[in-house]
Amino acid sequence: MQKKRIVITGMGVVSPVGTGVEKFWKSLLAGQSGIRPVTHFDASAFDSRINGDVIDCDPLAHFNSKDARNLSKFIQFGVVAAKEALLQSKLDISQMDPYRAGVVLGSGIGSIYSAEEEYAKYIEKGPSRISPFFITRMIINEAAGQVSINSGAMGPCFAIATACATANNCIGEGMRMIQAGEVDVVIAGGTESATSILGLGGFCALKALSKQHNDEPQRASRPFDLNRDGFVMGEGAGVVILESLEFAKARGAHIFAELAGYGRTADAYHITAPHAEGLGARMAMELALKDAGLKTTDVNYINAHGTSTKLNDQIETLAIKNLFGDHARKIPISSTKSMTGHLLGAAGGVELIACINSIRDNMVHPTINYETPDPACDLDYVPNVARKVNVDVALSNSLGFGGHNATLIVKRFKD
């Protein structure tokens, strides 16, 4: 039986380089960095003192004062991105069977901020001062729950947490739900805000973060560059509206792209490091191509996981070369994280949206801060300047701590 075709009819973004899809995309094409000094707490004692924080998403512009207080940032970001995506799609769930609309919206960490704040209250004033909203601010599933409440979607509603592969897994599993006939529409993506004392401190302790450009934060995230020394933490959300082609056409929806392929694997290797030969990443890409019915030579652009860590960039490059062979050297590859930093559980959502805009505009955004080639990373990373490229098929990789690999493929929609 032929699989249902899945299309994308709406997109929403909250990011360090702009809230809103068009602002986000224009910033990427301009090579604009969203990396800044940490200002929301004293980070002077930390090895890494920079982050990609969101500076243009005022809660009171999107929520009443009560919800602005009681919903944590990662939940707010998810709701804001979902609202933009729904508005863009012109989808009114009240005009359809609400049980045929689902939500799959995950986070890698949830609200670590809330845990810190409430523990500080406990230490200072005792257990009676812990907020009754603490649990609902903190738990990962509440972003999906709030999107359901705000949109009226009453079908399957859940969160996936696979570290940095979260958003890709959420979007891919949403695709599978529609193909299985369970729903017609899924609001899917990832959201994250973990640039807190413990968030930054924990990744510093792992020696995962960049620390050589604290005084020049916009130069810190440099995927595939020889002198990269770690990633930069970011925050935000990326959400898309998935629909079956039949449902989208029946309501006259504008279709931005077709979600054609999804592959997911596990490295079964290490708690943080990718498989030394990139076997899991390679297989995720191979499965996504098979799912899409495409050949390696059909791919025009790869949005890499591209974290700016020594291991990730080298091994992702190896996985691409091993799968794509000679064609690997002909594919433009870029890292959104060079500008946004690493949005953790939200990364795959905003990066898929970058791929969709690449198809729309036939433009590929650059990998900024690429100055010194690394002999182990010897592909075309679109250094520093956006490029005009005919993009019909784009592949997006997300690789998470714990060995989670998830690849999505989008292509130009043709009826």
Residues catalogued as catalytic: 164, 305, 342
Among the listed residues 317, 311, 386, 341, the one whose alpha carbon sits nearest the alpha carbon of residue 219: 341
| Element of type H or E holding 222 | none
Q: What is the rounded distance in angstroms from the CA atom of residue 87 to the CA atom of residue 209?
A: 36
For 83, residues 6+ apart whose C-beta sits below 8 A from its C-beta are 12, 62, 150
Q: What is the rounded distance in angstroms from the CA atom of residue 221 to the CA atom of residue 332?
A: 19
Q: Are strands 101-106 and 185-192 parallel, antiparallel or unpaired?
A: parallel
For 216, residues 6+ apart whose C-beta sits below 8 A from its C-beta are none
The letter for the amino acid at 153 is A
Q: What is the rounded distance in angstroms from the CA atom of residue 191 to the CA atom of residue 401?
A: 17
The three-state secondary structure class of 191 is: strand
Question: Tokens for 269?
Answer: 């290797």
The letter for the amino acid at 361 is D
**φ, ψ of residue 96 in degrees (nearest 5):** -135, 175
Is there a contact between 198 and 118 (Cβ–Cβ < 8 Å)?
Answer: no
Question: Tokens for 272?
Answer: 């943080």
DSSP 353-384: HHHHHHHHHTEE--BTT--SBBTTB-S---BS
Q: What is the rounded distance in angstroms from the CA atom of residue 130 to the CA atom of residue 141?
A: 21
